[in-house]
Structures are given as C-alpha cells and as structure tokens.
Structure 1
Amino acid sequence: MIVENHALWGEEPTEDYPATFTYLGAEPLPDKPNGRRPAVIICGGGGFTHIAPHEQDPVAFAFLDHGYQAFVLNYVTSSTGDVSFPHPQADLAKMVATVRANADEWHVDPKRVCVVGFSAGGMICASLATQWKTGPFAALAGARPDDIRPDAVVLGYPLLDFAYVRDMQTRDPRIDLRVPKTGGKTGRDLLNDYLSMVTGG
C-alpha cells in the first residue's frame, strides 16, 4: 500500500490554506502496471470544528478493499482557519481537481472520482455536487468546472439545511437556559454563534 501526506494548496499548509490530504493507494498489479482504479475522496464530519478520525481512515480502508484509490481530505475547520462558506467547499473542489490532475501518477481513472461525506463533510460534498457548475468553487480552486465535478456522491447523515437546524433547536425551551462555562451565554447564543461561524455571518 502507498501512503502519502500532502498539503492541498502548495508545498506546505499555510494560515490561509491549511488543508491537507492523505493518499492511500494500492500498488499497481504486475500484470496491469498502467491499470487505473476509481478514486474516492473522504470528508469526515465534526461540526466544522474538527474532523472525526473514525470517519476518515476506516472509511478509506473499506474503499481500498473494494478496488478504489482513497484520499482523506482534512479540509479547513475552525481549529485550523476560516471555516465560513465557501472555504471548506473550495478545499474539496481543489481536491477533486488535484486527483484528476495527478491521475497518471496515482493510477486513477479521472472519469470515476467519487466524494463521500459524513455530517459536516456531507454538507461540503452536497454543496459541490449541486453547485460545481454555478457556484464559486471552480474559480477558487483555479480549475474548470468540469475538473471539480464529482462523478458520484455518497452522503452519510449530512447537514443540509441550517435554517431547519436552527428552527428545530430553538423550539426546545431548554435552549434559553444558561450554559455552564460559556460566560453566561445561552444555548440560543451558542447556536447563533455556530451558525454565524459556518455561514460567515
């Protein structure tokens, strides 16, 4: 197996571009040295504050076992940088374009690139899947829209509707209670802070 760690946007991660990825690939078969496999890009969840490890490598190994070349994306989170829209989506767009640009080196079929996301990662994958052509992601990634279009998308318990989450949470009367260790903020304050962080305002 091949394991490589890379910065996504350059030689090293930076404060403005902290995203990294791990390539987990199968060695070429002796009788098919130029054989190509489908690729999967995995975006774990974590509420945009971190990325849950159990939604990264274990998922990659499952796809490897089924003949994929796997890429685990560590997109920007609030612990590494500016997580507001469209920064995490731009990371995924750049990752899809990067896989296609390096298809020969990584023995990938550039016409079979799948994205898989869980929770917050699912939201990022859904955004790219629905806006690869009309959204700002291709320009941010320095690529053509066709270069960032996923060929397949798998969403695991994705966060898809912030308004719904806000409305459902605010119906709970406990949300107006003070939360310990928050400087007197209520659950409503914390929810609004979170939504502002992710949506950029």
Structure 2
Amino acid sequence: MITSRREFLAASASVVTMRGFSLDPREPDLVVPLWPEGKMPGGPAPKMVETIDDQVDNAGLRYRVAVHVTRPTMSYFAAASPTGAAVLIIPGGGYSRVGIDREGFETARWLNSLGIAAFVLRYRLPADRWGGRSDVALQDAQRAMRLIRFGGSGQWKVDPQRVSVLGGSAGGHLAGCLCTKVYERTYPAIDAADHLLTRPDGAVLLYPVISMSGNTSGGTRTALIGPDPTPQQLAAWSLEVNLPPITPPVLLIHAVRDRVVPVDQSLILFGAIRASGGPIDMHLFEEGSHGVGLRADPAQPIADWPQIARRWHVRNNLA
C-alpha cells in the first residue's frame, strides 16, 4: 500500500519506467507541418494565437496542452529498431484543447520501445469556430494519415499497410472518425499524398466519445457541433450511425466507473460493429480514471491497458 507522497512519486516513477519512457523524456525527432503554406482548408481562420499551457501534474510529470491551434502538425518519434509499423496518436481534450505529453509524447516513446514509429497529431479545434468548424480536426487527421503513408520523402520507413491509430477521449472520437468516415473527402487534393487512403489499418480507442446523442461527455458535443445541433449533425458525427461495409480492427478500452465519458459510449460502438460483422475487441475495467494515458495508478487494473494493446497490435500484424 502507498502511504505517503514520496512513495506515490516513487511508484509513479516506477510505472513510468515500466511503460517505456522516462521522467526526462526526449522530444520529437521531427515536427511536420500538415499543410503547405497557403493550402490549409477549413478557413477562414479565427483571430487567435496558438499557445502552450505548460504545467506539472500531481506526480511531478510534465503536462503540456495546446490551445487555439493554428498550425496543425504531427510530431514524429523514430523507433531505434523499426518494424515497419506506425501509429498515429490522437490525444484528447474535448475538441477545445489537445494534449501533448500525457496521451501524446509519452505514448509515442512507449510505442518506439516496441519498434513502432509514432506520430503525435496536434490538430485544429472545432471549438475555436473555424470556417469549416466541425470538419477541421478530421481534415488534419486525414491529412496526417496520408502523409504517414506517403513516407515523408524517405524520412521514415513505414509500411503503408501497417498504419494504425490510437486516440483517447475526444481524440478517440476523432480516431474513430478515420475508421467510419472512410469515403468522405473533407478537402480537395493538394498533392500526391492526398490520393492515398485515410482509413487506418486498425484502431485503439481509449475511453472514447462515440455518440453525439444521449449521454455524451461534457462539452465535447458542443465544441464539435455547437449548442443546438440539428438531427442531421448529431447523426453525422455519431460513429455508430453510419458504419462503412468494412471497418478496420478496433480495440476499445474503458473503465466502468469513468466519470467523464460514460462506459456506455464504448458499449454503443461495440454493439454497432458487432452487429455489422466487423472485427472488434473490448476490455472493460471496473475501476479506472479518465484520460490517464500511461499515468494510471498502478493499483487500478486499467493500468494494464498497454500490455493488452501490445498483444492486440501483434495479433493484427500492426507491431
């Protein structure tokens, strides 16, 4: 039993080391702008300044969050012994901010330890009222998937048929959109990369927002489609409503006692994909917090999700 803050910090450091990253983590090997100058869709852009809120959490770990994103990017982390697999990581933030360290860079370093190239997406936020409001985050996610498959002009060695996505919370919703909105072109092609597929080869969704109807998490729905959405908007952004004929393999991970995004959200998608005959795995934990990334309390069973995800990646030839 952990009985003091010192023991808690020591335990946290131990968990951090086990998960494949350190308290003094490396930054990305490369930060790639998603769009050529003057070619970014979804305008007009709101008048705002992109900022980074740089804090430290209760365990002494860095906790950066980007707000008012105006220059969407993906941060590339190269694996020392690459297997050819890659993961696009989409951190959460309720579509009003986007995480950097927790659910982002830390997950990337863990994937690198498995030989998987990792790309952390910093996407535009619909809450900022872009001209293309609800579409801007999906535009960035689709563009990122295409750039990963395009290969970065040889900068990274990635098998274009082994690119999966991992997203948490609202980032899980955006990752799910890549799986379900596979036939939607949200922007006109601007170069050769835009002729490649946006559908991932698999998806790990952590405590995701799924449906815009009913018991939706906090302000995520408002940030994405506004305070008074039409029935058409609700349906368009509810992942369970319009599943394509073929979905990629999906792994859902959720805590039953999640107080931010109800576990019913994962259950909805599990039921829809199962009914459609698609490949779906789900792991539910009685206890566990929301948005933990790799920082879960080791006493909570949800802290074991990386091992579950690793086995799932191996089984689906994505590791």
TM-score (norm 2): 0.47
Structure-2 change in CA distance of 1:11 and 1:106 (3 Å): farther
- Residue number among 91, 94, 119 corresponding to 2:169 in the alignment: 119
Write the mapping of 1:65-144 to structure 2, written as runs, cut at 5 A. 65-77=113-125, 82=130, 84-102=133-151, 104-133=154-183, 135-137=184-186, 139=188, 143-144=194-195
CA distance in 1, matches of 2:209, 2:139: 17
- Match for residue 7 of structure 1? 33
Write the mapping of 1:1-201 to structure 2, written as runs, cut at 5 A. 3-10=29-36, 16=45, 18-27=71-80, 37-53=84-100, 54-77=102-125, 82=130, 84-102=133-151, 104-133=154-183, 135-137=184-186, 139=188, 143-144=194-195, 147-165=197-215, 195-199=221-225, 201=229
Contact 2:126 2:134 in 1 (8 A): no
Shift of 1:79: 7.2
Of 45-54 and 2-11, more deviation after overlay is shown by 2-11
Shift of 1:199: 1.4
Stretches of structure 1 that go unaligned for 5 or more consecutive residues are 30-34, 170-190
Deviations 1:128-151 (A, max 9, x none): 101112x2337477623x521111
CA distance in 2, matches of 1:49, 1:62: 26
Contact 2:89 2:166 in 1 (8 A): yes
CA distance in 2, matches of 1:84, 1:195: 12
Stretches of structure 2 that go unaligned for 5 or more consecutive residues are 1-25, 46-69, 230-319
Contact 2:94 2:223 in 1 (8 A): no
Q: Equivalent residue of 1:56, what SS?
A: helix
CA distance in 2, matches of 1:158, 1:141: 31
Q: Equivalent residue of 2:106, what SS?
A: helix
RMSD: 3.0
Shift of 1:18: 2.5
- Counting matched residue pairs gives 169
CA distance in 2, matches of 1:40, 1:25: 11
More helix as a share of residues: 1
